[in-house]
Structure 1
Amino acid sequence: MFEEGQLYAPVTEDDDGVKVHLAPDHPGANDPDYRRRREVIAGPALRWKPGEPVPQVEYTDAENEIWRTVSAELAPKHERLAIRGFLEGKEALGLPTDRVPQLDEVSAGLSRLSGFQLYPAAGLVPLDQFYGSLADGVFHSTQYLRHGSTPLYTPEPDIIHEVVGHCNLLGNPAIADVKRRAGEAARRCETPEGLQFVADVFWFTIEFGVMHEDGELRCYGAGLLSSYGEIEEFRDAIIRPIDFHAMGTVEYDITHYQPTLFACDGMSELTDRVAGFFADFTDDTPGRLAAQAA
């Protein structure tokens, strides 16, 4: 199991201003310019309230170059390794590949396609808020980019992960509906354990899901679709069929490539069975699954 907070650098604000707390091994930890840039971007997002205009970020030439580099590297991998549903969403959304898009620009496209919109996130969003908001068609997205020394890697979700991975998925209405169902499941949870179980199944589906399609193993998880390295390695993982009890209880390390992945047997297993799991989920579901697995 994992905790969403492990993926983000904490952001705080006090009399000295906004501070982004990067881990010692973060690629930008010893780069004062990068740290200041992260804080400049985080401040408006931290203070933003729903209903207000989404903060605009004037991305630098270096940041736009990171976006261009990743977009160019991922495009042929998506064509070769991503499921059709992702490719259809990506084409429909039509994100720019030469510059970092603004969140309200992406929201305009998603609103038209699936009814989703983006809220700016300075960093960590509480688990219940992040997942619960999906029920309302809201996805919380960061606005910063990974460190320039490692354009093809990030230890935490940046705007490339959020927009290239998740938003292209949200451009497909059927996949967006699965995310809504996950949000509704999170909203029904009354215990931390239930919410964590939803988050873990989400991890092994929407974040790191793979699918048998047209005789090949392809990926649909946002974590794979936005990762230059891991998208090339997922076929070497141990591939298991969908097993909700295992997804919600297996131990795994988020800092390494996932050694075990769970595969849907075609798109219908994602849009029907996985969506149905979230639609029927209650706090009693983990116990019931455990009893069935015993």
Structure 2
Amino acid sequence: MCRWIAYSGTPVLLGQVLLQPEHSLIDQSLHSRMGVETTNGDGFGVGWYTQDTATPALLRDTGPAWNNRNLQEVAQHVRSGLFFGHIRATTGTAVQQSNCHPFRSGRWMWMHNGMISDFPRLRRDLALAVDPVLYPDIEGSTDSELMFYLALSFGLPDDPPRAVARMAGLVEATGHAHGVTYPLQMTVAVSDGERVWAFRYSSEGRSRSLYFSTKVDALRALHPDVSFLRDISDATRLVVSEPLGDLTGAWNEVPESSYGIIQPGGGVLGAFRPDPDPVRPA
């Protein structure tokens, strides 16, 4: 499985979040505490938005994150108010750049931790449900990227929670038709450059770990000596596969079978259920 982080808020150097914390994403690539694997060295990716472009920039590579000089260089010079970071531990597909997260389509960015069980058996049926206009844009061979393009086919730009619910429902229905008891395991982050949606769900009800940060004003009251908290806005939030450190009160577990939205004006947290009868895209 993988580890990931989504940041939204005051523009900061990527390295302040990806490299500097006690248990940063780079540390997790070697010493994950909550992942299925301790080491996540099958590639990495960073995606970020700027005010100058409508689409996110991507840096992805097949090597491990902990010794990549390009990642170190970018993280210490690029500033963004919305970015994703992902370290990969493959569940069977090839270690190649096109299989590294995040994935991008227009202004949309997507990353995933988890798996579609027995994916080789389900892949053809699921791929046939992708909008034919979108299908040529699929570059890699992962279940994660296919999930993204299914969500796009189901109307992600119009209603992300509904599109992801329809995608998850199709994966489960297809899996059950092939005799797979628990077809889906996922924590997903997706963004349009203004908002971030995060989902935590699994068919067996035992989803991979996912946490969101406490409101900044509450953290300032608890930890007035932490300089990073003084430099960011109250609207700044993070969603992470596992906490970036042991700061008391900083992290809250995302409830099982739920989704959240980080957006201007305040966040939203709600229940997530796959659509039990998704209609395949026309």
Q: TM-score band (shorter)?
A: 0.3 to 0.5
TM value normalised by structure 2 = 0.34
TM value normalised by structure 1 = 0.33
